[in-house]
Amino acid sequence: MIGKYKQGFMESLTVHIARAFCRDGQGGNLAGVVLSTPTSLTSSQKQSIATTLNFSETVFLENKASRKYVATYYTPSTAIDFCGHATVAAFNLLRQEKRVDDEPIELSTTAGPCTVSFDGDLVFVSQQKPIFGEQVAVEEIALTLGLSAEDLTESEMTPQIVSTGLKDILVPVRDQDTLARIKPDFPAIKKLSEKYDTVGMHVFAINSGNSSVVARCRNFAPLYDIPEESATGSSNGALACYLHKVGKVDEGHLLFQQGDVLNLPSDIHVKLSVDKDGTTSVICGGKVVLDEIREMKC
The hierarchical CATH code for the domain 12-127+287-297 is: 3.10.310.10
Supply the pLDDT for residue 298. Answer: 60
Q: Given phi > 0 = left and psi -120 to 50 = alpha, else beta, which region is 24?
A: left
CB atoms within 10 A of CB 1: 8
Supply the pLDDT for residue 12. Answer: 84
pTM: 0.91
pLDDT at 6 over 80: no
Ranges in the chain annotated CATH 3.10.310.10: 12-127+287-297, 131-286
pLDDT digits (tens, 9 = 90+) for 221-235: 999 989 999 999 999
Supply the pLDDT for residue 100. Answer: 95
57 is catalytic: yes
pLDDT digits (tens, 9 = 90+) for 97-113: 999 999 999 999 999 99
Does the domain at 131-286 match CATH 3.10.310.10? Answer given as: yes
Average pLDDT, the chain: 93
Catalytic residue among 57, 154, 228, 229: 57
Supply the pLDDT for residue 7. Answer: 45
